[in-house]
Structure 1
């Protein structure tokens, strides 16, 4: 084996073969957190998108009664939307 073969194999890496949020990685906690936040911003799951639209929707879609917290979140979200609408109408 020549030394050139090892260099070629080292440079051979596959695209997306390394997870940026790998817990066994040697990066600092802050760097892993930043990578997770950057990745999470662009890749919301379907359930996360549903909860952002209506906090009670996920529980109801599974045939369950929404939790008290989810109901309060929905109420707060509705009140904030109304406030935004009234501010937009004034401007």
Structure 2
């Protein structure tokens, strides 16, 4: 019996992953950033999207970053990103 082979279309997979991150991941991480920013005087937590050419292994992602010194201090002291991660939620 002949062995079946699956051909993986890498660019097609990247297009699908990028679409999912843009439509689902960014909204979820925005909710986390907004919840974390409620504890600061000005917005210091921001959503970052990475992926594409220079990255390879599981390269598309949406993350929340500490963009200011206040956010870095708040996160270090209160573990803010972990404590607000539940705000990412599921379907909305």
TM-score of the superposition, structure 1-length normalised?
0.28
Higher CA-based Rg: 1
Compute the TM-score of the two structures, normalised by the length of structure 2. 0.27
Higher RCO, 1 vs 2 (CA within 8 Å, ≥6 residues apart): 2
Give the number of the structure whose residues are more often strand, by fraction.
2
